[in-house]
Amino acid sequence: MSFQDGAPASGAIHLDRNENPYGPPESAVAAMRESLKSPNRYPDSSVFQKKIAEHHGVAPEQVVLGCGSTEILRATVDAFLTPGTKLVIATPTCPILPSFARQKGVEVVEVPLTREYVHDLPAMLARCDNSTRLVYICNPNNPTGTLAARQDLDEFLHKLPSHIPVMIDEAYHDYSAVTPSSTSFLEQPAGDDRTLVTRTFSKLYGLAGLRIGYAVAPKMLAARVSQFCLPFGENSVGIAAAIAALDDKDFVSTTADRNRADKQRFFNSADVRYIRITDSQANFTLVKLDNPIDKVIAHFRDNGIFVGPRFPGLDEFLRVSIGCPDDTKAFWRVWDMLPHKPVHH
């Protein structure tokens, strides 16, 4: 296993989309090259479906494939939500699924995070009623990087009315520290028939440009969501790369360790400036601002660095993806160009 050069091809530094700056393993790159020998053939998604099933110890019929997890989010909205029904989410959270729901005229019930920026599960439970048809939980949460403890999620599911399906978005799970509180619903299933867990190859695996994602769910739930997915929605290059990446056993742990080291480097630079940083369990963090957020985002963009975007209720914080060491140096160099309030030690 090895990493690719972390330098952005465009010349700009992208700290705005939570990508892996080092890219995929060499094994995935080799598989991509090999797959280019037969672009005239449609992808064989069944091979990939079986691979995912084997990886997680489930039946192939429980696996839903998508063009990135974005397609899984859209298909889930189409499968369960119609005008007159409700979606319950935290706020702020990943905006993709609720944006699809709003486009359909669905009522989106937003429940603020706690003071610790964690999902307020009791408050979310209290907002569910007979018209609620889906609960969405991004864990670790985007943009805060905070983790809802597994024991709290289990208690939430136990109390939730049985007619309400729950989507657990684990796009950033592989970045979180391994503890009982961070146990994945794929490692330890909920044991019910209404929990759908999504994953993506766009983050830790470094394959964002190839758009490969999937979900694992009970068979009936998976079949329902699959009906709304695009036929041949996954491309053969992405499938080949994803299969190779899954077989690279050391890649996940090594990449997560590298991200933690880069994140600590970023945190150290914030500490010497007396800047507040959130304790994120993902490959991004929130930085406390002393300038208007729109001004900060524009300032970084004008200096060749993309950060953000803006999230509701977080105008005092900027979400920053963790880049390679040179990215971190560039970020703080541009940060220091802004006027800042004096710090009282």
In a domain, residue 229? The reply is: yes
Same domain, 92 and 192: yes
Distance, in Å, from the CA atom of 164 to the CA atom of 142, rounded to the nearest integer, reads: 23
Q: Which amino acid is present at 200?
A: T
Instruction: Give the torsion through C-alpha atoms of 285, 153, 171, 7, to 10 deg.
Output: 20
* 240 and 313 fall within a common domain: no
pLDDT at site 243: 97
Residue 345 confidence (pLDDT): 53
- Taking the complete model, does pTM exceed 0.85, yes or no? yes
Confirm whether 48 is domain-assigned. Answer: yes
DSSP letter for each residue of 16-31 = SS---TT-S-HHHHHH
- Cα–Cα distance, 164 to 172 (Å, whole number): 24
CA distance 252 to 191: 26
* Cα–Cα distance list, 150 to 77, 93, 189 (Å): 24, 18, 11
Please give the average pLDDT of every successive group of 10 residues along the chain, which has 345 residues: 42 95 96 94 93 97 97 98 97 97 97 96 98 98 97 97 96 94 94 95 97 97 96 93 94 95 97 94 97 97 96 95 97 96 67
> Are 57 and 136 contained in the same domain?
yes
Residues 147 and 232 in one domain: yes
Which of 221, 247, 273 represents a domain boundary (last residue)? Answer: 247
Residue in 132, 156, 137 with CA at minimum distance from that of residue 80: 132
* Run of H or E residues at 146: none
Is 343 part of a structural domain of the chain?
Answer: no
Q: Are residues 241 and 257 in the same domain?
A: no
CA distance 221 to 144: 29
Residue finishing a domain among 198, 225, 247: 247
> How many domains does the chain divide into?
2
Alpha-carbon span 52 to 56, nearest angstrom = 6
Count the Cβ atoms, other than its own, within 10 Å of residue 241.
28
3-state secondary structure (DSSP) of residue 115: coil
Same domain (yes/no): 313, 194: no
5 domain residue, yes or no: no
Asked if the structure places residue 7 within a domain, the reply is no
- Predicted pLDDT of residue 344: 59
Tell whether 265 and 220 lie within a shared domain.
no
CA 2 – CA 345 distance, rounded (Å): 43
Q: What angle do CA 166, 168, 174 make, to 5 degrees?
A: 170
Find the CATH number of the domain harbouring 69.
3.40.640.10
Which among 247, 264, 288 is the end of a domain? 247
> Among all chains, which residue has been given the structure tokens 């329902």?
224
Give the integer Cα–Cα distance in Å for 257 and 323.
13
What token pair was written down for 325?
């060491």
Domain CATH code at residue 259: 3.90.1150.10
Same domain, 222 and 260: no
Q: Which H/E stretch holds residue 319?
A: strand 317-321
Same domain, 221 and 146: yes
145 and 239, same domain (yes or no): yes
Is the residue at 304 inside a domain? Answer: yes
- Separation of alpha carbons 247 and 34, rounded Å: 16
Is 345 within a domain? no
Q: Is residue 4 part of a domain?
A: no
SS3 call for 157: helix
- Structural domain of 282: 13-23+251-335
- Do 272 and 225 share a structural domain? no
242 and 257 in a single domain? The answer is no
